[in-house]
Amino acid sequence: MELALDRPKVSRATAPAAPPGRISDGELLRRIASRDRDAFDELYARYARPVLGLALRRLGDRERAEEAVQETFTAIWRSATSYREDRGPGGPWVYAVARNAIVDRFRTRGEPVAEAPDTADDARGPAERAEAADVAWRIHRALTELPATERAVLELAYWSGLSQSEVSSYLDIPLGTVKTRTRAGLAHLAAILEEEDLR
Partner 1 sequence: MSGPRFEELVEGGDERLRHVHDMLVAAGPPPELPPSLAHAPGSEPESRVRLMPRRRLGAALVLAAALALATFGAGYLVSARTGPDAGFAEDFALTMQGTSAARGADATLLVGEIDEAGNWPMEMTIRGLPTLPQGQRYELLLTRNGAPVVSCGTFVVDGETAVFLNAPYKLRAYDGWVVTRVGQKQALLRTAEI
Residues forming the site for partner 1 (CB under 8 A): 1, 3-6, 8, 35, 37, 40-41, 43-45, 48-50, 52-53, 56, 62-63, 66-67, 69-70, 73-74, 77-78, 116-119, 121, 132, 135-136, 138-140, 143, 152, 154-164, 166, 169-170, 179, 182-183, 186-187, 189-190, 193
Distance CA 9, CA 6 (A): 9
Smallest gap, in angstroms, from Cβ of residue 22 to partner 1? 18
Smallest gap, in angstroms, from Cβ of residue 16 to partner 1? 12
Which of residues 93 and 137 has its CB atom nearest to partner 1 in the complex? 137
- Cα–Cα distances in Å, from 13 out to 97, 142, 149? 27, 14, 22
Smallest gap, in angstroms, from Cβ of residue 38 to partner 1? 8
Per-residue DSSP letters for 64-105? HHHHHHHHHHHHHHHHGGG--GGG--HHHHHHHHHHHHHHHH
Q: Which residues are CB-contacts of 103 (< 8 A; sequence separation ≥ 6)?
A: none
Which of residues 7 and 22 has its CB atom nearest to partner 1 in the complex? 7
Which of residues 26 and 162 has its CB atom nearest to partner 1 in the complex? 162
Smallest gap, in angstroms, from Cβ of residue 20 to partner 1? 20
Which of residues 72 and 87 has its CB atom nearest to partner 1 in the complex? 72
CA dihedral 131, 97, 15, 42 (to 10 degrees): 120
Smallest gap, in angstroms, from Cβ of residue 190 to partner 1? 5
Burial class (CB in 10 A: 0-12, 13-18, 19+), 17: middle
CB of 106 closer than 8 Å to CB of 65: no
